Amino acid sequence: MSEEANMWAQAEQTVFSQLTGSDLLVENLKLPADFIWGAATSAYQVEGGATQDGKGRSIWDTYTHLEPSRTNGENADVTCDHYNRFEEDVKLMKSLGMDTYRLSIAWARVIPLGGRHDPINEAGITFYIRLIDTLLAHGITPSVTLYHWDVPQALYDRYKAFLNTDEFRADFERYARLCFTRFGDRVKSWVTFNEPYIISIFGHLNGSLAPGHCLQAETDTKTEPWRVGHTIILSHASVVRIYAEEFQPSQNGRISIVLNGHFYEPHDATKQADIDAAQIRLEFYVGWFGDPIFLGRDYPASMKEYLGHRLPRFTPDDLELLKATCSVNAFYGMNHYSTKFARQLTTPAAEDDWTRNIEESSVNSKGEEIGPASSMPWLRIAPSGFRKLLNWAWDRYQLPIMVTENGCPCPGEADLEVAINDQFRQRYLGLYLDSISKAIYEDGIKVQGYYAWSLMDNFEWSSGYGPRYGIVHVDFETLKRTPKGSAYYLQQTFQERRKDQA
């Protein structure tokens, strides 16, 4: 073992040895025989082929080439080169025993300019047909996300994309119809949008993700994030109606959306204000989208009361659409990584405050940390919070849950030996799978499957190639793929956890 790897191993052991309680002991609890597992990626993060075969530019192609750089001087022009190496990657998935693979389609690869009157790129269509067919030939079920943060740049140039609800909605409907028409005979699981909260807040308020809207750029951060969220909700509902009426009867697939969210514990469990803050933070984070989409109703009352006129209004026709489509959503797609403490601040908030003056942190009023930190300080091991979020979503929406993303980057993973022998990640994954088992067998929640984030190390948005979330190591100089210990751990653990249930 190298000196650096030994240092990280000792540090990790020290962290875990200081923690007590069953919350951090992996039990390898059982899972249902029909519980599916796989891994997830997104097109921009893994495909590369930025201008290959007629692909158009997305907002991320633009954002990663800004000067000065806002992505650590790095971009995803090549990244994992999945566009040219997908056959190798599918064979790797098969060797690891995966049931399913969650991928996204690059809108600008199939419609380079994005719009409803713009030409289709048949080379892009052919790529996804080949990828889907290769997955099916290897016994791997594709789950396809239509939008994973990469709107065509041309639509942003024309009308600022999500900030023009009517225009975006019409263009997204045409794009979705194209995908359902060309791929829907083989794809039986669809997701409209990935993480609308991140699109709205990180893309259109603090500007840390494309297209980079923020107050410093003289944009209206007081209202724009809520307008973006409104556009996403109505565009999702429109596409769900299209799928239900025009495609589902013959294709027999299912469709939904993926919402991300931390769970929140009160910063001070003795203060009612903090107890309330934890619940309200969940409503602002998850209920913002979940209530209209899954319940067919208006935004949470806590949002309407605090945001007032900043929050767009649903028209009577909008509410009819939401009511008509809420039952079509076949599952709750959950992306979850960690848990935080919520504290209600008493000092006046900024004018464009979007959290209802609630502060979140990894340490509570007693100085206790929520859990051991990964290489990203915000991402802590807190499996009990995951179980609580599963309960919260189930109680509120009563939909089967698909865990569409879950994972972490290991401390010290820049060292190859640490990366391959990723004990921290294996501990994290084991604990979170135990939480799923407890949610199923002790809490009565329908959790249908699990996707690790991510299949392989890739371009991690504004962090570039620093954090490595993959269960497969990628050498970004040679593009060599090497399965990590976590890949084999998941292969074995799912064999064992499901074995006695067959």
Annotated catalytic residues are 195, 405
335 bridge partner residues: 260, 405
Among candidate residues 407, 459, 411, the one with its CA nearest the CA of residue 430: 407
What does 352-414 look like in DSSP terms, one character per residue? T-SSSSEEEESB-TTS-BSS-B-SSTT-B--HHHHHHHHHHHHHHH---EEEEE---PPTTTT
Interatomic CA distance for residues 300 and 327, integer angstroms = 19
Residues 473/425, Cβ–Cβ less than 8 Å: no
CB within 8 A of 166, min separation 6: which ones? Answer: none
Say how far apart CA 109 and CA 57 lie, in whole Å. Answer: 8
Percent of the chain as helix, strand, coil, to the nearest 5: 45, 15, 40
Looking at residue 311, its amino acid is L
Nearest to 196 by CA among 168, 157, 159: 168
Find where tokens 């653990």 sit.
Answer: 493
DSSP state of 324: H
Q: At what angle do helices 383-397 and 288-295 cross, to 10 degrees?
A: 40
- Report the alpha-carbon distance of residue 45 to residue 456 in Å, rounded: 10
203 within 8 A of 210, measured Cβ to Cβ = yes
Residue pair 143/189 in contact (Cβ under 8 Å)? The answer is yes
Which tokens in the block code for residue 356?
Answer: 């209802």
Taking the C-alpha atoms of residue 451 and residue 483, their distance in angstroms, rounded to an integer, is 16
* Distance of alpha carbon 370 from alpha carbon 269, whole angstroms: 13
| DSSP element (H, E) containing 435 | helix 423-441
- Name residues whose C-beta falls within 8 Å of residue 433's C-beta, 6 or more positions apart in sequence: 29, 31, 450, 493, 497
The 8-class DSSP code of residue 35 comes to: -
Measuring CA to CA, how many Å separate 198 from each of 138, 208, 209, 409? 33, 10, 8, 19
Whole-angstrom CA distances from 21 to 84, 263, 267 are 47, 20, 20
Query: How many whole angstroms separate alpha carbon 260 and alpha carbon 277?
Result: 18
- Both tokens assigned to 278: 């934890």
